[in-house]
Structure 1
Amino acid sequence: MKKTTLILLILLTIGLIWATAVPSTQAQDESLLWTVPRLLSTPGIFETSETEIVSDPHGFIHIFWTETNPEDGITSLQYASFDGVAWSQPNDVYASAPDIDIISFAAALGQDGTLHLTWSEGNTGPIFYTKAPALEAYSARVWDRPTSFGFPAYRMKLVVDSKNVLHLMFINFYGQEPGVYYTRSADFGDTWLTTVWIDPDIPTYDTPNVLKFLIDDKDGLHASWYYAATDLSSPLGEWVRYVNSFDGGVTWSSPFSVDRADDSVDELRQPFPGLAVSGDTVHMVYAGNNDTQREHRYSLDRGVTWSETERVMGNLQGQALGDGFANDSLGRVHFFGQIRWPQGVYHTTWDPADPEAGWTTPQMAYVISRSPEEGREGRYHAHSVRAGTINGNILVVTFTDEATGPLYVIWRKLEDAPEIAPLAMPTATPTPEATATPATNVTPTPTPPPFAGTDLAVPEAPPNAGLGIWLGVLPTLLLIGGIFGFRMYRLRNS
């Protein structure tokens, strides 16, 4: 009996030591911590878009997307909100005329509790603008009658600063002067600054795509995009770029080349660069090479100097129309992207308090398929992943099934991030007054370009995710095998 007990204790001890020495299965697959996907778009509608997710300090997250009804060709802008417990009933806040596409849209929240919404109809505009009190945005009746202006916008992004000035950046994709353009309004969309051309050095026969535009907690403006062939004949990217402005959009830095394609034919394939800002730290994550593995550069000084380029996410590959980023209450940046293998929506975190640690080992927030042979088995093929947070500790992630929809959402609570107590939502006045001086038409003077190749700490690539899963399973298999062998031993000697 003593010998039996001793053998069992040895086996258990070996299993415990091994389990603490390597990542566990749970450390590689966190999907059980997330809700099952909830259908967010209208049942029966299979053509939807990526989302715009707006987090507010009042305990809500606001989500916008488009849906196209195949029966009448009408495209509608849909809206829903979530407080971490209950979802509002999705509702359309605007519907286009039949067969008029809403190509792009953008949303932002002002300091006064007003939600601002812009969109473009057709490949060259016009741009439309409307606004509504965030507390009542679920009702189409509270949104202002849309106004339009003739900027030739294909894609656009919108932010609002602490003075309630609207900053709009857009891509002229099909017009006579392709490029990235900027404008702003200090009177809630009544008038707009004459557009400023951000990248007059755009390469011939190229056009920008996948625009990102963010504002930091000091009202600094940050934007990124990449160039591709004008005729879209190739999925290759040619140039990933970044700019910033620290004076409210009056002057802009010269575009900084985050990465450029070299002589390799597969360089920067579908880069779809993602931009994230947390405090003074700026991140650029994008796909490079033929396997579309993720590459990363970051700046610790608001985009002035940058780290070297580093490949991250181990050997995980894939690109599915962009990635999602969200910040939690601790200032950590959360990355979400659909990559493989195993295939799924992966989640990794960057802590600005320890930049040398780099990104954490990627974990699967939603499992699509373990291998090409397994197949999806009824699971959704996540594209256009986007993310946001509620109260700093509830992560919300949206994605479309395939490239065009339907639209789904998952969420989970972070146990290691404290909740930010929600503030009472202010009520927007019917005629709010901007606190900034109305913009005048000015031509910005570019500042010297930021330089690359600094000696900032470069994060280490995380270990191979697939290997980590097997290492996590191994201690359990050893323990089961040991117990089975011991029982066979007893049977033979009984």
Structure 2
Amino acid sequence: MKERWLVFVVVVTSLAVGVLSLNTVLGSAPVHAQGNGWSDPVWLSTNTPSSWFPDVAADSQGRVHVVWDSAYPPKGPDDSGVGTTMYAVRRDGEWSEPNDIATHLPSGVSRPALAVDGMDRLHMVLRGGGVRYTQAPAADAWSAQAWWPSHRVSGLNTTYTPDLVVDGKGMVHVVWEEWVPVELSPEEIFLQRRSPYLADVFYRRSPDGGRHWDPPVNLSNTPNVGSGRVHIALDGGGGIHVGWDEGWDRTSLEGEPEAVAYVHSLDGGTTWSEPLIFTETTDTYAQMTVETNGTDGVLLVWRTLTSNRLLYAWSADRGVTFSDPRPIPGIFARPWISPFDAYDMATDGSGNIHLVAVGASAVPTPTTPLALYHLAWNGERWSYPEIVAWYPGPENPEWPRIAVEGGRRLHVVWFTRPEGVSSEGVQVWYSERDLGLEITPAPTWTPTATPPSPPSPTPPPGLHAITPTPMPETFAPSPVESLYTEMDDLQRLGIALLPVVGLLVAVGVVLLRRR
């Protein structure tokens, strides 16, 4: 009889451990919100131990292209490991094996950004010995040999995250952040313990599809303040729109986030507006992103650090004037624990602007489960936030990127980072959603004369004038709290069984001792 009770205790204890393990596994896996049209997340970075900072593009043949940073582990105590750029493509619904396409690039490349042109060529910029540019036919991009030898488009100083777009004329437009000398004396640098260099935002264009390049242009011109997290977008008239953060320097880690900035060029990059600075005395702004609706509308989105709100400003005149900043309803930004996250936007064939952002449906705490959300802006109001992937466990989504295929299908990539981890175990994921819209052909840009911009009033130092535009505000409570997922019943079952299992174990131990 004693042996039977021992078997009983072992079985019940194993059951308890299994239930706990089930909840642990479920808690760390991404939970897809069923019923909102998003596909289950697909793990892309299957053959490298550490992968992050992806980007995505879709071509006219329905192929989906994804690039990301990966790192191979050190081979010894004196080896720091190798950073490279991985690429995967989805053709006819099937994903390729990820491939290293950086074999011809400098070692330690990182932070790739991807764009596709009207001829189905992929254009990529990335960081590695400066900001470097390369391209390949979309049909052959899986092979490293298909990519051009890279060309450095930045200066010789330290650089960080680049971004790019290709317009309807085949002109390539690139932005990046690069160190410039601070305007301080050596004594001031020493006494104030300042970095001798801080990043500014630069722009450069190629008028012939990446073969030749015009001289670079400094867009921010704030040498004593760090600039970074730069984004670029195109409008339907060939205008270029750029947004970035001011205050914190990514490379030196000097400073703190302060404000977000925006500039535009309505003549294809020849002349630029003065920076428009959005700032607030009672809060701090960061994580600026910019997108257009394909015509005259320009949308800016960023976050606050204290109140954890996502804010937006809208322009109906190609960025000449903007509305006052307003909170996006139904979503809150993640706690400001990691400074490396970002938002991204893309426009569908009907002119709706789609935003992807990591956050929560209520004011978050450091332990609040985070989700990757999708929202859409139609020029007047926001859609309900919907969950692309939810992470109730120790992993958090980060750095989402979005692309639109054929005007109707959304493709989103992101990476997951275990809580408290810098880079170990990070992985890249993908999800898609069909919007059910009519497929629209790729827009063709017809050159037209651009009228000169009206003169702007002289703003106070460091602040460009903002002209408020009345903005409708429609808000209803977000339904995301009530979204059902396939994990809910399993987690409830596990939680419900724990007391029963515990009681059975206790009874078994007592009976065993009596015998």
TM-score (norm 1): 0.72
Query: Which residue of structure 2 aligns with residue 172 of structure 1?
Result: 178
CA deviations 1:353-394 (Å, max 9, x no partner) are: xx1xx111212222222xxxxx46xxx521111111222222
CA distance in 2 between counterparts of 1:256 and 1:364 reads 32
Is the 2:386–2:480 Cα contact (8 Å) retained in structure 1?
A: no
Q: Which moved more, 1:58-67 or 1:316-325?
A: 316-325
User: Secondary structure at the residue paired with 2:263?
Assistant: strand
Match of residue 164 from structure 2: 158
- Cα distance change of structure 1 residues 386 and 301 upon mapping to structure 2, 3 Å threshold: same
Aligned runs of 1:64-75 on 2, under 5 Å? 64-72=67-75, 73-75=81-83
The equivalent residue for 2:220 is: 199
Asked if 1:364 corresponds to 2:387, the answer is yes
Name the amino acid aligned to 1:89: E
- Counterpart position of 1:484: none
State the secondary structure of the residue aligned to 1:50.
Answer: strand
Against the structure 1 CA distance between its residues 199 and 326, is the aligned structure 2 distance closer, same or farther, given a 3 Å change threshold?
closer
Aligned to 1:267: 284
Letter in 2 for 1:210: R
* 1:347 alignment partner in structure 2: 374
Contact 2:400 2:415 in 1 (8 A): yes
Matched with 2:497 is none
> CA-atom RMSD, angstroms?
3.2
Contact 2:64 2:90 in 1 (8 A): yes
Hey, what's the Cα distance between the residues in 2 that align with 1:149 and 1:317?
34
Could you report, residue by residue, the CA deviation over 1:427-484 in whole angstroms, capped at 9, with x for unpaired residues? xxxxxxxx99xxxxxxxx99747742323324344425567769xxxxxxxxxxxxxx
Question: 1:410–1:237: structure 2 CA closer, same or farther, 3 Å change rule?
Answer: same
CA contact (8 A) 1:133 1:142 kept: yes
**Structure 2 counterpart SS, 1:194:** coil
- Work out whether 1:146 is the aligned partner of 2:146: no
- Determine the structure 1 residue equivalent to 2:356: 336
Residues 422, 105 of structure 1: alpha-carbon distance in 2 compared, 3 angstrom cutoff: closer
Question: Does 2:261 align with 1:241?
Answer: yes
Distance 1:247 1:324 in 2: 24
Identity %: 25
Deviation (angstroms), 1:238: 1.2
1:191 and 1:422, CA in 2 relative to 1: closer, same or farther beyond 3 A?
closer
Q: Within 5 A, what are the aligned runs for 1:386-401? A: 386-401=401-416
Change (3 A) 1:286 1:461: farther
Contact 2:415 2:427 in 1 (8 A): yes
Q: Displacement, 1:407?
A: 0.6
Within 5 Å, which residues of 2 pair with 1:237-316?
237-257=257-277, 259-262=278-281, 264=282, 266-268=283-285, 271-279=286-294, 280-314=296-330, 316=332
Matched residue of 1:135: which SS?
helix
1:59-97 per-position Cα deviation (integer Å, ceiling 9, x unaligned): 223221111111352222122223562223322211478
Match of 1:118 in 2: 125
Q: Provide the residue aligned with 2:98 in structure 1.
A: 90
Assess, with a 3 A threshold, how the Cα gap between structure 1 residues 69 and 350 changes in structure 2: closer, same or farther.
same
Structure 1 counterpart of 2:165, one-letter code? V
Instruction: Name the CA distance, whole Å, in 2 between partners of 1:58 and 1:168.
Output: 25
In structure 2, C-alpha distance between the alignment counterparts of 1:332 and 1:446, rounded to whole Å: 28
How far apart, CA to CA, are the structure 2 residues paired with 1:134 and 1:408?
21
Counterpart Cα distance in 2 of 1:145 and 1:315: 43
Q: Please report how far the alpha carbon of residue 207 of structure 1 lies from its aligned counterpart in structure 2 after TM superposition.
A: 0.8
Question: What amino acid is aligned across from residue 116 of structure 1 in structure 2?
Answer: H
The one-letter amino acid of 2:376's match is: T
- Once residues 129 and 304 of structure 1 are traced to their aligned partners in structure 2, the CA distance between those partners, rounded to angstroms, is 31
How many Å separate the matches in 2 of 1:469 and 1:40? 26
Q: 5+ unaligned residues in a row in structure 2: which ranges? A: 1-31, 76-80, 182-196, 362-368, 448-452, 458-463, 485-515
User: Which residue number corresponds to residue 192 of structure 2?
Assistant: none
2:58 is aligned to 55
Q: Which moved more, 1:167-176 or 1:359-368?
A: 167-176
Scaled by the length of structure 2, what TM-score is found? 0.70
Question: Which deviations, in whole Å up to 9, do the C-alpha atoms of 1:7-61 show, x marking residues without a partner?
Answer: xxxxxxxxxxxxxxxxxxxxx9556632222111133422x23222223333223
CA distance in 2, matches of 1:447, 1:88: 52
Report the number of matched residues: 399
Distance 1:91 1:60 in 2: 16
In the TM superposition, 1:173-188 aligns within 5 A as: 173=179, 176=197, 178-188=199-209
What letter is aligned with 2:387?
A: M
Q: CA deviation at 1:126?
A: 2.5
Paired AA for residue 167 in structure 1? H
The answer on whether the counterparts of 1:252 and 1:446 sit within 8 Å (CA) in structure 2 is no
User: Match of 2:8?
Assistant: none
Q: Distance in 2 between matches of 1:161 and 1:136?
A: 22
Task: Tell me: CA distance 1:49–1:174, structure 2 relative to 1, closer, same or farther (3 Å).
Answer: farther
Report what 1:406 is aligned to: 427
Q: CA deviation at 1:157?
A: 1.6
Q: CA deviation at 1:254?
A: 0.7
Compared with structure 1, are the counterparts of its residues 468 and 452 closer, same or farther at alpha carbon in structure 2 (3 Å cutoff)? farther
Counterpart code for 1:161 = D
1:224 to partner: Cα distance:
0.3
Of 440, 453, 468, 1:454 maps to: 468
Residue 409 of structure 1 aligns with an amino acid whose one-letter code is Y
In 1, the alpha carbon distance for the partners of 2:174 and 2:220 equals 15
